């Protein structure tokens, strides 16, 4: 287990308010997955906080990833990135672009120009980082105008007329990822624009069989029977690769689809050069050490290996921060060589370009504070970290200026915490994916939801899914 992952695991519910049970590790990944597919979003969050201490090594790491997915569902976007610190590792011989030799170009414009001569475009995401979903949302109208006909979504399960007629996803339309509000907006926008939505996920958990079955599904459902079909694929991580490497000896989905179809896939990566807050890990260790020393509610955390040994300058050497300092992105960019015009790709055989997103927050945050929040969920005590960035929700939630920040108060919670405040479109039922959500972990705070102009149903619910308060909400267009 890495230095940073060990620290964050220790902080996010790894030590419950009570000592670890003797049968630690008794919850399996299979049980975890089954629990994740049941109940409401806040209930799943509470279950994971309580389950993680009962899991061992690999299962615990998997649970931590699901915990980050859960935080994204609840609108805790900065927290999701903080609490699943997934680091990408660029090839050892990578040379980062430098100003003077490379210049920034708008990512959406560049992709659209290249897509004009392709039938298949693939964009990847980091599943716990919803910021990586904005590029697909921006591409949907531009590619539709070029004649793209199908959108294939890794998280999609539902198919057929019912989804098209409704025009929105429900909590049964896809996997856990799709319950996140920005993913719901991708589905709504694609249906509004007239895309045919394509589920293509394999029933095989992983490995070569999964990659092959995904490629076969895309070929069979879209490309094989219609020479005019043009396909945008929204996938996770290395599925979009056109060569071996990130998946070891496994042939990735895009590589298999090229072999099946004879088409050249345009592959765009967003996951290898992503934002990470500079000094998270050192502060995390300081908080853990303080808690262990003072006997705070983190008791049960193993004290071995808790001494910081990372140079504070390490984060400043991370590729993302170097590129942001050099090119100052205000929106999604790619980097083009000023001499020969080629686009920068850290793995040119695997994908065609790296997209660099701007920093997620307008303010720099260490994310971690010298306290934890004590929670009681389903009668059981546990802990959570305070909100990231002092509760400031990232400005990218405006979805390129389409949504407004609307103040919401914890008063909707009826003095019961944790409490989920969410907005549903007025003409959609309660089982539709929410337009936006935010979870209040404690009393006495206000925050914002990001919403398009229109009519909504605003409500607060507890971890059991009981409605504490509900009222209509009208969001007017900005003046």
Q: Name the residue with tokens 């919401």.
A: 408
Residue-wise pLDDT for 94-105, tens only, equals 999 999 999 999
Neighbours of 313 (CB within 10 A): 8
Q: How far apart are CA 412 and CA 433, in angstroms?
A: 20
pLDDT of residue 72: 93
Identify the residue with better confidence: 56 or 286: 56
* 216-231 mean pLDDT: 96
**Statement: 102-269 belongs to CATH 2.30.30:** no
- Lowest mean pLDDT: which of 104-113, 211-220, 303-312, 428-437? 303-312
Q: What's residue 304's pLDDT?
A: 32
With a pLDDT cut of 90, the percent of the chain lying above it is: 60
Mean pLDDT of the chain: 84
Q: Which two tokens stand for residue 10?
A: 């220790």
Bridge partners of residue 117, in order along the sequence: none
The 10 Å Cβ neighbour count of residue 70 is 28
Q: What is the mean pLDDT of residues 18-41?
A: 60
Nearest to 464 by CA among 416, 410, 426, 411: 416
Q: Enumerate the CATH 2.60.40 domain ranges in the chain, comma separated.
A: 403-475
In the chain, residues under CATH classification 3.40.50 are 102-269
Element counts in the chain: helices (H) and strands (E):
13, 16
State the pairing for strand pair 353-354/196-199: unpaired
Of 43-47, 170-174, 307-311, 355-359, least confident by mean pLDDT is: 307-311
Cβ-based neighbours of 463, under 8 Å, separated by 6 or more: 40, 42, 43, 45, 46, 377, 378, 418
- Encoded tokens for 204: 């095989």
pLDDT tens for 224-256 read 989 999 999 999 999 999 999 999 999 999 999
Most confident range (mean pLDDT) of 47-56, 83-92, 152-161 is: 152-161
Q: Closest by alpha carbon to 78, among 273, 324, 300, 365?
A: 365
Averaged pLDDT for residues 134-157: 97
Q: Do the beta carbons of residue 354 and residue 325 sit within 8 Å?
A: no
| 76 contacts 45 by C-beta, under 8 angstroms | no
pLDDT band at 272 (very low <50, low <70, confident <90, very high): very high
Query: Which SS3 state, helix, strand or coil, does residue 360 take?
Result: coil
Question: What is the arithmetic mean of pLDDT over 309-327?
Answer: 67
**pLDDT bracket for residue 375 (50, 70, 90):** confident
What dotted CATH number matches 403-475? 2.60.40
What is the Cα–Cα distance from 155 to 173, expressed in whole angstroms?
9
To which residue do tokens 């060569």 refer? Answer: 243
Bridge-partner residues for 440, per DSSP?
A: 419
């Amino acid at each position: 287990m890495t230095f940073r992952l060990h620290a964050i695991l220790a902080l996010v519910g790894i030590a419950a308010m009570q000592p670890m049970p003797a049968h630690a590790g008794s919850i399996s990944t299979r049980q975890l997955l089954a629990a994740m597919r049941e109940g409401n979003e806040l209930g799943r969050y509470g279950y994971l906080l309580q389950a993680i201490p009962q899991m061992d090594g690999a299962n615990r790491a998997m649970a931590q990833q699901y915990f980050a997915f859960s935080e994204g569902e609840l609108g805790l976007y900065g927290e999701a990135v903080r609490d699943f610190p997934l680091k990408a590792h660029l090839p050892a011989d990578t040379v980062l672009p430098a100003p003077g030799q490379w210049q920034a170009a708008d990512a959406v414009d560049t992709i659209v120009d290249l897509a004009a001569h392709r039938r298949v475009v693939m964009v990847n995401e980091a599943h716990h980082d919803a910021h990586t979903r904005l590029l697909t949302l921006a591409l949907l109208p531009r590619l539709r105008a070029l004649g793209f006909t199908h959108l294939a979504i890794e998280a999609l399960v539902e198919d057929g007329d019912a989804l098209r007629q409704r025009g929105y996803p429900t909590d049964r339309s896809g996997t856990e990822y799709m319950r996140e509000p920005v993913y719901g907006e991708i589905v709504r926008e694609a249906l509004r624009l007239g895309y045919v939505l394509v589920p293509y996920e394999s029933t095989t958990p992983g490995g070569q069989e999964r990659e092959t079955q995904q490629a076969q599904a895309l070929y069979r459902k879209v490309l094989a029977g219609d020479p005019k079909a043009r396909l945008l694929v929204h996938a996770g991580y290395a599925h979009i690769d056109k060569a071996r490497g990130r998946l070891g000896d496994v042939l990735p989905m895009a590589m298999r689809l090229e072999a099946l179809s004879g088409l050249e896939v345009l592959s765009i990566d967003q996951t290898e050069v992503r934002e990470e807050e500079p000094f998270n890990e050192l502060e995390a260790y300081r908080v853990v050490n303080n808690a262990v020393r003072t006997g705070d509610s983190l008791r049960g955390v193993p004290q071995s290996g808790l001494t910081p040994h990372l140079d504070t300058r390490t984060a400043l050497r991370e590729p993302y921060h170097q590129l942001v300092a050099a090119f100052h992105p205000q929106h999604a960019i790619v980097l083009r060589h000023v001499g020969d015009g080629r686009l920068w790709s850290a793995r040119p055989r695997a994908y065609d370009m790296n997209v660099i997103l701007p920093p997620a927050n307008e303010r720099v945050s260490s994310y971690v504070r010298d306290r934890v929040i004590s929670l009681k969920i389903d009668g059981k005590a546990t802990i959570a970290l305070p909100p990231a960035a002092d509760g400031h929700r990232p400005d990218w939630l405006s979805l390129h200026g389409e949504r407004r920040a609307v103040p919401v108060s914890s008063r909707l919670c009826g003095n019961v915490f944790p409490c989920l405040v969410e907005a549903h479109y007025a003409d959609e039922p309660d089982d539709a994916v929410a337009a936006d959500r935010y979870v209040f972990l404690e009393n006495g705070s206000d925050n914002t939801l990001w919403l398009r102009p229109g009519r909504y149903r605003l409500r607060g619910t507890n971890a059991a899914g009981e409605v504490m308060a509900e009222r209509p909400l009208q969001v007017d267009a900005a003046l």
